[in-house]
Amino acid sequence: MVKIMDAAFSLIARQGYESTSISQIARKAGISKGLLYNYFLSKEALLEKLIQNAMSQGEQIVATSFTDDPAKTLENLFRRFFRELRERPEYWRLLTELTLKIDKFKFVHDIAVEKMTAYTELLRHLFVQLGVEDPAGEAKLVAAVFDGIGMQAVVIKQDYPLDELERILIRKYCNRKITQ
Amino acid sequence: MVKIMDAAFSLIARQGYESTSISQIARKAGISKGLLYNYFLSKEALLEKLIQNAMSQGEQIVATSFTDDPAKTLENLFRRFFRELRERPEYWRLLTELTLKIDKFKFVHDIAVEKMTAYTELLRHLFVQLGVEDPAGEAKLVAAVFDGIGMQAVVIKQDYPLDELERILIRKYCNRKITQ
Amino acid sequence: MVKIMDAAFSLIARQGYESTSISQIARKAGISKGLLYNYFLSKEALLEKLIQNAMSQGEQIVATSFTDDPAKTLENLFRRFFRELRERPEYWRLLTELTLKIDKFKFVHDIAVEKMTAYTELLRHLFVQLGVEDPAGEAKLVAAVFDGIGMQAVVIKQDYPLDELERILIRKYCNRKITQ
Amino acid sequence: MVKIMDAAFSLIARQGYESTSISQIARKAGISKGLLYNYFLSKEALLEKLIQNAMSQGEQIVATSFTDDPAKTLENLFRRFFRELRERPEYWRLLTELTLKIDKFKFVHDIAVEKMTAYTELLRHLFVQLGVEDPAGEAKLVAAVFDGIGMQAVVIKQDYPLDELERILIRKYCNRKITQ
DNA sequence: GATGAATGAGTGTTCATTCAT
DNA sequence: TATGAATGAACACTCATTCAT
């Protein structure tokens, strides 16, 4: 049920998983607690569905960034990442919070590691094409930058200079001559 | 009471704030629940003290990194940051988790913003001395890198290439000639 | 609906009345919950039908045991009782469990008393024909033995010496000369 | 806490385990639900304590029945058994109901089998001393009689002829000459 | 006849917090 | 200073029952 997922998403993204009760979710979705359990086996199962949903949206972003020009592809990735951060910060909040729950929910670890290695590998591949020195290391660095910016954007919110960071990153990595 | 803080710190760092009960903390600290409430007004107040404590430890790291040579100072900062990550990963876990509780605990936002601006300003200052182009932007980027690496290290744990990232960062930013 | 009764019977006999849900019964019967309520007014009503059904099966056992020879009739009763216990122990489980719900379901008491007096009267009648001393008392005793053996067989299961007890009872009560 | 045990005992004995809620028990005991959980880890743990309590009382009955004369010992056992049934029928209700829950609670099986074998062995021993033919078989029979009478007394209540059955049993098994 | 979405009161259990001692 | 008995509101979850279709 999409109403439930939406309600759960916005509440959990804002308050965190443990601080959001099934009652709250049901109330916000406009249904009874009992009905919620017709759709989801447990609170944890609901969370898992939520994450899977969010992840698949993330994959679309990557998929639609590809072009023949690696510099352009990289720029697309950067721009879409920042757009996401601006338009749907709660998505990153949820992902980040969940990532920290790695010891509590077994399904999180697999998703997190898979996501991280996939992104890093993608960046490395682009850096190779762009002739960047130590592409593997640079990819890891940029992956960390992504996570760090996501985290800080979520925390500092409107005061965080997303625009400036976007400009810096694109200038640094996507111009003709990549020297550094 | 330091026993309480220690107990609370290790439990919350490992299990998270909501999953750690006052009973557990009191038991681990070897005192009664009642006594705990003689020292802290509430669970939330204990958490606040915990964070303030953790932050001040972070400041010590910064303070002891200073030298006359900005490149050396920067290298010290990097090295100490990575050492912390290796030796006390729970510290970062706690900080990261708590940072995300921004909407739940008002005091978190102020602390987080203050920390971040202080670090960024420090980095900017060093970059100015080192003649880095766009020192303010670079400082923001490196601050994000720090947060990102901390986050990923906490999640990926022993498989995360801390050593490699440390080497890359130092090579990139702390060598005589800073060109990028 | 016989499918419902069968499903309910096997589930309740195995798990007990309270631990068996209407959903389970409907699922096992291959119908919807709603349809089940077309046939039975409530879970309790279903239970009542279940018991009546079980009781009438018990009566068939008695009815087909009759012969002209009271000793043979008694032996038939014994043998059929033990056969039932061996072949359909869940039947006894259900009856025993339900019998204990006397304070919860008013209909249980009437059924139980009626069953017991009928059996006792039957036994008494046979004992009179067999010239047993104090036939009424002996009948009550044997009725108790039946219940006790049923109970113990249900609990101890495969380790309970049903064969031995059958032999003992028949030797004791069904031989030409009844002396005791 | 004895208040809790008493409340739980009387409620569970009357209504059954599943039909008695923790709320009811706490209310009857005059305490909060939370406090109940300071004394018992779970509803099941409370039940286990209840049974252990009941069993140890049962053992006292057996222990105080012994004399040098086996016939007198047997008579004592019979009389005490019937006295218990008259004075504390709920005790038997609880024990019987629990016994049927053998598949649900692991601790029940051990207790039930132990109780049953101990009683049967005791009876067999007495029957040997009394020169009863097939003492082992007779012991099993009498053990079943006990269970059966207990069961019927619980169900039929005031209409069940406990006095008559007591007289019959004692006459049958405890007189000088045991012939049967 | 037949479905299953929907409800609401209930369950066992947890836990931050208080307070008499 | 120190205890822990006690509370009450909350939690995740279940289930008999209803009803529009």
Per residue in B161-172, pLDDT tens?
999 999 999 999
CB D141 within 8 A of CB D149: no
Domain boundaries, given as residue ranges, for chain B:
1-40, 44-174
- Joined together, the tokens standing for residue A5 give 């997922």
pLDDT at residue C79 is higher than 70: yes
C135 to chain D: closest CA residue: D168
pLDDT at D180: 40
Task: For residue D179, give how far its alpha carbon lies from the nearest alpha carbon of chain C (Å).
Answer: 6
End-to-end CA distance of chain D: 50
Average pLDDT for B53-74: 87
pLDDT at residue C180 is higher than 50: no
Name B154's Cβ contacts closer than 8 Å, sequence gap at least 6: A100, B89, B92, B93, B96
Average pLDDT for D39-61: 89
Check residue A30 and give left, alpha or beta (phi > 0: left; psi -120 to 50: alpha).
left
pLDDT at D179: 42
Q: How confident is the model at residue C59 (pLDDT cuts 50, 70, 90)?
A: confident
pLDDT at A178: 40
Q: How confident is the model at residue B180 (pLDDT cuts 50, 70, 90)?
A: very low
Nucleotide nearest C34 (Cα, C1')? E3
CB D100 within 8 A of CB D165: no
Nucleotide nearest B22 (Cα, C1')? E16
Q: How far apart are CA A49 and CA A40, in angstroms?
A: 9
H/E element holding D10? helix D2-15
pLDDT at B55: 83
Average pLDDT for D123-140: 94
Q: Right CATH number for B1-40 from 2.30.30.90, 1.25.40.10, 1.10.10.60, 1.10.10.10?
A: 1.10.10.60
Between CA C8 and CA C13, with CA C9 as vertex, the angle to 5 degrees is 115
Tell me the torsion sign for CA atoms C154, C155, C158, C159. negative
Q: How confident is the model at residue C178 (pLDDT cuts 50, 70, 90)?
A: very low
Class of residue C42 by CB neighbours under 10 A (exposed 0-12, middle 13-18, buried 19+): exposed
pLDDT for B104-144, tens place per residue? 888 888 888 888 899 999 999 999 999 999 999 999 999 99
Best B51, B138, B140 residue to mutate vs chain A (most A CBs within 10 Å): B140
Average pLDDT for B48-65: 85
Q: Right CATH number for D44-174 from 1.10.260.40, 1.10.620.20, 3.30.160.60, 1.10.357.10?
A: 1.10.357.10
Which ranges constitute the DSSP H helices of C17-105?
Answer: 22-29, 33-39, 43-63, 70-87, 89-99
pLDDT for B2-46, tens place per residue? 999 999 999 998 888 999 999 999 999 999 999 999 999 999 999
pLDDT at D152: 92
CB B116 within 8 A of CB A151: no
Of the partner residues C103, C146, C156, the one whose CB lies closest to the CB of residue D116: C156
Spell out which chain B residues touch chain A, with contact meaning CB-CB distance below 8 angstroms: 14-16, 18-19, 93, 96-97, 99-104, 109, 112-113, 116, 134, 137-138, 140-141, 143-149, 151-152, 154-156, 161, 164-165, 167-169, 172, 179-180
pLDDT for B82-94, tens place per residue? 999 999 888 888 8
**Cα atoms in the 13 Å half-sphere on the side-chain side of D135:** 14
Q: Where are the beta strands (DSSP E) in chain B?
A: none
pLDDT at A10: 93
Size of interface C-D (CB pairs under 8 A): 124
Between CA B156 and CA B162, with CA B161 as vertex, the angle to 5 degrees is 95
Per CATH, B1-40 and B44-174 having the same topology is answered no
pLDDT at B46: 95
Quick check: B86 CB within 7 A of strand E?
no
Per-residue pLDDT of chain A (180 residues; tens, 9 = 90+): 899 999 999 999 989 999 999 999 999 999 999 999 999 999 999 999 998 888 888 788 888 888 999 999 999 999 999 999 999 888 888 888 888 888 888 888 888 888 888 899 999 999 999 999 999 999 999 999 999 999 999 888 888 999 999 999 999 988 754 444
pLDDT at D178: 41
Q: How confident is the model at residue C74 (pLDDT cuts 50, 70, 90)?
A: very high
Q: How far apart are CA A142 and CA B169, in angstroms?
A: 12
CA dist list (Å): B29 to B33, B45, C123: 10, 17, 71
Q: How far apart are CA D138 and CA D119, in angstroms?
A: 12
What single letter denotes the amino acid at residue B2? Answer: V
